[in-house]
Amino acid sequence: MCNFSIKFDSNVHHIISKAKDAITGAGGNFNGNEAAGGFDIKTFMGAIEGTYTILNSEININIVKKPMFVPCSEIENQLRKYLS
């Protein structure tokens, strides 16, 4: 459905911690480690599910389920905010 990559400057443990805190803080689920994992979150428009892998200083995100009316660009923008 949606695929994008986000580069980061901080250490990978910090990025995973921020992502987990943001997603679980918004009522979602986060399972994974410093190499790969998955997440899901329910929004008022519907559920969003995705997986991620990390290589070097880049997190690669694959959204596997999303509401039809939510554009990939909006999901990417929100995840960038979570990780900034």
Q: Which domains does the chain possess?
A: 2-83 (3.30.310.80)
For the stretch 13-42, pLDDT in tens is 999 999 999 999 999 999 999 999 999 999
**pLDDT-based confidence at residue 84 (cuts at 50, 70, 90):** confident
For the stretch 42-81, pLDDT in tens is 999 999 999 999 999 999 999 999 999 999 999 999 888 8
Q: What is the pTM of this model?
A: 0.90
Count Cβ neighbours within 10 Å for each residue of 45-84 and write b for 16 or more, e otherwise.
eeebbbebebeeeebebebeebeeebeeeebbebbeebbe
Q: What is the pLDDT of residue 13?
A: 92
